[in-house]
Amino acid sequence: MNIVFSNNLKKFRNQKNYTQEQVAEILGVSTHTISRWECNTTLPDVTILPQIAKLYCVTIDDFFKESSIAYKNYAQRLASVYEETRKPEDFICADNEFKKLIKNGVHSTEDLWTYGTLHHFMMQYSTNKAIELFNEVIDIGQNVNEEVFWKTKIQKMLLYSQIGKSKENINTALEDIRKNSNNAINWRCLISAYIFDRDVENAYESFKKAVEKFPNDAIIYTLGGDICSKLGKNNEALTYWDKAIELDYTCLDAKYSKIDYYAKIGNKDKCHCLSLEIVEELKKSGLDIEADAEEKRLKNLINNIQ
């Protein structure tokens, strides 16, 4: 027998303020059986251990630890497990348990605080993991897949801007241009870095330099249109977006930008035409799920135009 196990059974029950009779009724066994477990005379069947653990708001491993305590609820216990391990699978378990608490309306303010902290820890993990993966793609370089390389660069810059590293984006982009000013992606990154930093004046100046060096780069024209829109140069913005689409009809970012512009000025017809083009292009690429989602999103956007 295991004296630590039996002692914990009794300790956890007392910490949860259950009587032996109450536990016996919940588990569907006799009070005598609960007594024998706690007296280390017999052990419960392994198949019932998960049910006992959940009742006492502990994990099965806690039964075999001398210093274990019963938590206020099972979600709190799973949160403590994740706090110790920081494993995504442990986060998912705790997340699911907190969702049940909230759905059933039996959560406390402490539960909400713990749940928020849980997400905070997971956010840190996810941020670090995302940067690690982005860097792996960037280290491989753009020769393997230029489109994926560019998407990775812009996504990492967006992440950096969201965690307060906008200036680092700019410095990195400037350094990359210093090393190789004949790479269009380096200029796209510099323009985007200024946009993320809300420095539209420098973004515009960088765009003007870039478009002279790369007059056939659709993405640079798209970024130029976005900058001009922020500066209130709407005719110039439309010219650049149209140029981007002329260079690359599948340049959806330019079409999205045009939709946003036409939505602001209340032009439903042009929004509708552009949204149809986007959905059709997504379907041509075999992205049916994305096409359906965009169709709904754009339909809602158009319906909300005053």
pLDDT digits (tens, 9 = 90+) for 153-203: 999 999 999 999 999 999 999 999 999 999 999 999 999 999 999 999 999
CB 111 within 8 A of CB 98: yes
pLDDT digits (tens, 9 = 90+) for 4-58: 888 888 888 888 888 999 999 999 999 999 999 989 888 888 889 989 988 887 8
Instruction: Count CA atoms closer than 13 A to 193's CA, side-chain side.
Output: 22
CB proximity list for 267: less than 8 A, separation 6 or greater: 305
Share of the chain above pLDDT 90, in %: 61
> Which value, to the nearest 10 degrees, does the dihedral of the CA atoms of residues 43, 45, 46, 50 take?
-100
Residue 276 pLDDT grade (very low, low, confident, very high; cuts 50, 70, 90): confident
**Would you call 183 helix, strand, or coil by DSSP?**
coil
Cα 167 from Cα 174, distance rounded (Å): 11
Q: What is the pLDDT of residue 73?
A: 83
Cα 92 from Cα 32, distance rounded (Å): 37
DSSP string of 33-60?
HHHHHHTTSS---GGGHHHHHHHHT--G
Mean pLDDT of 258-270: 90
Q: What is the pLDDT of residue 306?
A: 64
Q: Which of 177-191, 244-258, 271-285 shows the lowest mean pLDDT across its residues?
A: 271-285
Select the more confidently predicted residue: 148 or 299.
148
Mean pLDDT of 76-98: 91
Cα 222 from Cα 203, distance rounded (Å): 13
